[in-house]
Chain A
Amino acid sequence: MKFSALSVFTQGLGGNQGWPEQWRSPEPKSAYDAIIVGAGGHGLATAYYMAKEHGMRNIAVLEKGWLGGGNTGRNTTIVRSNYLWEESEGIYEHAMKLWAGLAHELNYNVMYSPRGVMMLAHNIHDVQVFKRHVHANRLAGIDNEWLTAEQAKDFCPLLNIEKNIRYPVIGASLQRRGGTARHDAVAWGYARGADRLGVDIIQNCEVTGIRRDASGAVSGVETSKGFIATRRIGVVVAGNTSVVMAMAGVRMPLESYPLQALVSEPVKPMMPCVVMSNTVHAYMSQSDKGEMVIGAGTDAYTSYSQTGGLHIATHTLDAICELFPAVRRLRMLRSWGGIVDVTPDRSPIIGTTPVPGLFVNCGWGTGGFKATPGSGHVFADLVARGEPNAIAAPFTMDRFRTGRLIDEAAAAAVAH
């Protein structure tokens, strides 16, 4: 059922009891043209664009838990495209352009709110790095501007720009089109859109093995619901990528770390934008429910525990209290962790693998949410056509052999 003013009105008359399920819960068929492993935002977007733009309707998305229950439901919902290198600008800006029309495209309110993302500079090095980003972005036609500390405070009145704190704010870069979106709605919107195009979304179906034929090409997946035959597999499983790829004998240049976030008790609207600081490692925005959404860092060591050390979160709260004294008395309601897969150059891997028919989209590290539409769009193209398009091409795994790395450590240094 399409969402419209009329359908909301008529369903309202019936006490909102007549809404159908947003997607089916089918049993898996014995074979599909393609299988996407992982029903997070990226995987569901991949399936949606494969069905919509490449006409592949006989496909399935397999999910070991519930859809959107991994990092899609655990991130801090920040959207921006102010990365340094042209390759990154290409894919993150591709996503940014899709964000702008996504609610309309999906007929689902993803609550994309371009309220501005401000990144704080606390020392000369920060100033130099951020100004370099500003200039690089503007050359690429991406909005990004430099603000003085006073201008930063005008944009975000909560911000403390006094000189008497440990790391005073001496400037900021601002991407006005950056902002937030409702993370769950992105997964739900893509799931609903893909389902309507005939994609089978199969939850509680864990992939336990990848079967290959005599030539080495993939022939199907072993799952907790039995064997499913397919000649194309797209792996989009974030923190578990190394584990799933090992089922096909492929080693990955990845390490998985716990990344934490936390939210405060809800308060009236007081935080008008997203503020991030790499140097003191803190970032904060306010959800539409009124909670302060705060991102902490990764733990020092690799882990699959989906939790993190308390000292990591308290370290971030120390910084938040200095930057935003007004929130000092707020109590934190919840904290949680997700497992992020980090590449050596902090850029994603989107590409073919040494195994014919096996494709991988991973390595989004601490900042994959912002790329969800663009990532799904180019990965759908890759799985459907078998070769990467111009946007995806630089992100091959082969770059670790050739040395053509895409070093975004500065843009991604804060876990975001």
Chain B
Amino acid sequence: MLLIHCPYCEMDRPELEFRYGGEAHIARPADPMATSDETWAEHLYFRSNPRGLHAERWRHISGCGRFFNCLRDTVSDRIVTTYKAGEARPEIDRGAA
């Protein structure tokens, strides 16, 4: 079970308090009517699914209830850092993890 640091509560809490929210930093197309099928497919279904650092959303559902983002190594499952929603992905290479 992961131990996840909520950047709002500023506490390390067990994974059971959180809900996974999928890959982070995926923006919905700004103009839906002008968006092609390819772009919609990319937005809805295609994911980077990396073997390495993954930026993902979590929600502290049994705590503050807020969404935040997390950088995790998908091979070791080690969490490198968590950061608040709206903040840019920290520039950390996998070697530093």
Per-residue contact bits, chain A 300-312, to B (CB 8 Å; 1 contact, 0 not): 1111110001110
Q: Which of B22, B45, B48, B72 contacts A400 (CB 8 A)?
A: B45
Question: A interface, how many residues as a size bin?
Answer: 20 to 34
Residue A255 lies at the interface, judged by CB distance under 8 Å to chain B: yes
Q: List 13 A-B contacts (CB under 8 A).
A: A242-B51, A251-B46, A253-B46, A253-B47, A255-B49, A256-B74, A300-B15, A301-B20, A302-B54, A303-B77, A304-B74, A305-B76, A309-B2
Contact present for B74 and A242 (CB under 8 Å): no
Residue B1 lies at the interface, judged by CB distance under 8 Å to chain A: yes
Q: A305-B77, A400-B46 are in contact. List 6 more A-B contacts (CB 8 A).
A: A251-B46, A253-B47, A302-B56, A309-B15, A310-B1, A400-B45
Residue A252 lies at the interface, judged by CB distance under 8 Å to chain B: yes
Q: In whole angstroms, what is the CA distance A311 to B18 when docked? A: 14
In the complex, how many angstroms separate the beta carbon of B40 from the nearest chain A beta carbon?
8
Contact present for B74 and A303 (CB under 8 Å): yes
Contact present for A242 and B50 (CB under 8 Å): yes
In the complex, how many angstroms separate the beta carbon of B2 from the nearest chain A beta carbon?
8
Where the two chains meet, the residues of A that have a C-beta atom closer than 8 Å to any C-beta of B are 240, 242-243, 251-256, 300-305, 309-311, 344, 400-403
Chain A residues, Cβ within 8 Å of B40: 401
The closest CB in chain B to the CB of A343 belongs to B45
How many inter-chain contacts with C-beta < 8 Å in the A-B complex?
Answer: 69
**B 39-88 contacts with A by CB, 8 A:** 40-42, 44-51, 54, 56, 72, 74-77
Q: Which of A251, A303, A311, A403 contacts B1 (CB 8 A)?
A: A311
Task: Decide yes or no: A242 and B49 within 8 Å by CB, A300-B15, A300-B20, A301-B20 being known contacts.
Answer: yes
Chain A residues, Cβ within 8 Å of B48: 242, 251
Chain A residues, Cβ within 8 Å of B16: 311
Residue B38 lies at the interface, judged by CB distance under 8 Å to chain A: yes
Contact present for B41 and A401 (CB under 8 Å): yes
Chain A residues, Cβ within 8 Å of B2: 301, 309
Residue B93 lies at the interface, judged by CB distance under 8 Å to chain A: no
Chain A residues, Cβ within 8 Å of B22: 255
Q: In whole angstroms, what is the CA distance A251 to B45 when docked? A: 10
Q: In whole angstroms, what is the CA distance A13 to B65 when docked? A: 71
- The 3 tightest CB contacts between A and B, nearest first, are A242-B49, A253-B45, A300-B20
Q: Determine which residue in B15, B16, B23, B49 has the highest number of CB atoms from chain A within 10 A of its CB, and name it.
A: B49
Contact present for A302 and B45 (CB under 8 Å): no
Q: In whole angstroms, what is the CA distance A323 to B36 when docked? A: 49
In the complex, how many angstroms separate the beta carbon of B39 from the nearest chain A beta carbon?
10
In the complex, how many angstroms separate the beta carbon of B50 from the nearest chain A beta carbon?
7
In the complex, how many angstroms separate the beta carbon of B44 from the nearest chain A beta carbon?
7
